[in-house]
Structure 1
Amino acid sequence: MSQRASMIPARTLTRGTTVLAAPLLLIAAHHFGLLQLVSEPEQARQAILGLGALGLVAFVVAYAFLQPLGVSGVAFVLAAPLIWPWPIAFAVSMSGTLAASVVGFSLARFVARDWMTKRIPARFRTYEGPLARRGFATVAALRLVFLMMPMLHALFGISRVGFWTHLGASAVGYVVPLFVISYYGDEAFELLRGAPLSAWAGLAAAVLAVAVGRLLMRRHGRRRHGSAPDMTLSNSKDVTP
């Protein structure tokens, strides 16, 4: 290795590798049929099953690295029971979700800590105190509610929560929703696919009503109690790996 190359910081090399890996993973996911599960589910299912164990590995690896970069993790979880029987789908979903969480956590803690810190939404900053006092319980609760949201990966990565605490608590938070999706996912997909337009309109109206209600309640709470104090996330390097 040349002297000039040896002077390149390891973090810079890691970031460059991450940027280059993303399009390659998308190409690989397309090649293995993972991106065709929505448009052509049966053909994609047969293609992935035809790969045997390689299909399982490709699914988990694509999930692990694409989800922290913005690809929907829920899409992977919903797709798994369309491909495999529910016990395998559950194992694959848990493996991929935990792997994605580790990748996102590691990117925030070791690769892009400063960049991630500046982009944590204000509504997540209020969890810094509970994460410092009750790390395991807080991580498990947030995973149960928000699942594999990429911003949660970042929040946990820049917090003082230890790596193994994060991994164990994430597994606890994931197990129930992933089990339910894996067990009922195939039936739910068929039900939703055959639902009439009026059912989709009603569902959209219900979601909109809930979102508006939460927004109004949040604004009312702010007016009643005043603005919350600014709890800026610590940017200290003193974290437990």
Structure 2
Amino acid sequence: MKTAFITGVTAGIGAAAARRFVAGGWRVVGTGRRRERLDALAQELGDSFRPLAFDMRDERAREAAVVGLPQNWSPDLLVNNAGLALGTAPAQTADLNQWRTMIDTNVVAVVALTHRLLPGLIERKGAIVNLSSVAATYPYAGGNVYGGTKAFVRQFSLGLRSDLHGTGVRVTSIEPGMVETEFTTVRTGSQDASDTLYAGADPMTAEDIAETIWWIATLPPHLNVNALELMPVSQSFGGFQVVRT
């Protein structure tokens, strides 16, 4: 039985991915900060799910969680899903602490966990799926550091792919556009479940992305998807901004 190590499983894409992989006959090691959410998911998924409660930015907790994994739960797949976007202010008025939190979560933690699990993934000829974003390619006002972190994730994935040439390890950067999750609901600040960030836009769902991760993970081992950009049909590219004087 194969094992997937998925970060950020307490909501959204991570939770959907955990459910999809367990349904597909895999075991899942799932990380998250919210113990009660992890416990509920463990109750739902049973013995095929192993919860690890810690903040990805906490180096000691991250290391202790990995070291504590039983040998037979060694990952065949790493899904670096945990990440966040804070604030929509332009750079000149942005909160530096929010920038640091995004960098520590979206970049530093991803790099550190990947580095820690690489020897086992190489030994098992496994795979790495990193969740980037269309924000890595298409900038938008207020996206400053978030877009920068996701551009890093994309380039880091391509660099890993190059370095791991010949090892049998596959590496993919998945770059979604609009995905409706709990995160997009929270960002509106509204208690109305229908008042979401993408209301009326027919966005993708967490399950859409989870199914994509599953597809990539279960491709024949001689195939590698380097990068995959997804958008709902309702979303496309905008024009350049122009200031006229």
Higher relative contact order (CA 8 A, sep 6+): 1
Above 0.5 in TM-score? no
TM-score norm. by structure 1 comes to 0.30
Richer in strand (by share): 2
TM-score by length of structure 2 reads: 0.30
